[in-house]
Amino acid sequence: MCAAFITPGLPATSTAPAARLSAAASRRRPSVISVGRGSRRGAPPSPVMETVSFEKIDDVLDTPTTKIGKYALTLSIAGSTSSLVRKETLASAKKTIKAPGFRPGVIPPFMRASIQEFILTECLQTEIARAVDEAGLLPCEGDASAPEFVVPIKQMNKAFEPGKPFEFSVEVALMAKEAEGGGAAAAEGASEGAAADAAVDVDAVADAGAAAEAAPAGGATPAVAAAEEAT
């Protein structure tokens, strides 16, 4: 159900950022963020990030082996962080993007909104991953556990300016780390218990076989009857 973080961080993607931007621009689809994937550049130093608030608002699942809660986070992206992401993204895009009618290295105006959204998405991923990791929690897998932004990314992108601090709020399902080991221990215990039960059954059948050989013809011994019931 859950896996180590998404972020927390989100798994790094192998696709070049410029190639992803080019594909995103052609499809004109909104960006998607999944907690558990870390930024391809790695998280910036912690002093440039800030967790404004981190609060548990609901229990999703609470068992001896699995504890999942829904959390409300308000986080702040530092201007220095978004500036760095913008610089690296533009440098990569200029080397890769080739648009008809534009010289190599020139980013077409129709791609600027997609690039801006890509930069915002990278910053959101990195900041969520950092905050969840610092809280000692793990991300969950599946569409149901995807981050739910209070303000949609498309709308946030209109107010987002790389180089300036940017605050956002998100709700996400997260799992307690201690529950991860508890689940494995419980599964191991259940497996050992099943093996012990199987050994008892085998012994009972073996005893019944020996008793059957010694039993007089025409009647079953109590041991044979017990073995038949066991099997």
Give tens-digit pLDDT for 186-205. 444 444 444 444 333 434 43
Please identify which residue in the block is written with the tokens 């907690």: 35
pLDDT in tens, 58-109: 999 999 999 999 999 999 999 999 999 999 999 999 999 888 889 888 999 9
Average pLDDT over residues 178-183: 54
Quick check: 179 pLDDT over 50?
Answer: yes
Per-residue confidence (pLDDT) for residue 48, from 0 to 100: 53
pLDDT of residue 12: 40
**Over 50: is that where the pLDDT of 149 sits?**
yes
The answer to whether 67 and 38 are in contact (CB under 8 A) is no
pLDDT at 29: 39
Distances (CA, A) of 42 to 13, 29, 167: 12, 25, 20
Check residue 15 and give its pLDDT.
42
What are the distances in angstroms from CA 204 to CA 181, 200, 226? 35, 6, 8
* Per-residue confidence (pLDDT) for residue 35, from 0 to 100: 55
* CA–CA separation, 98 and 95 (whole Å): 8
Q: Which fold has domain 17-178?
A: Alpha-Beta Plaits (3.30.70)
Q: What pLDDT sits at residue 208? A: 43
What tokens were used for 179? 């529950």
Q: How many Å apart are CA 119 and CA 89, to the nearest integer?
A: 7
Helix (H) or strand (E) holding 127, with range, is: helix 112-134
User: Is pLDDT of 117 > 70?
Assistant: yes
- The CB density around residue 96, as the number of other CB atoms within 10 Å, is 16
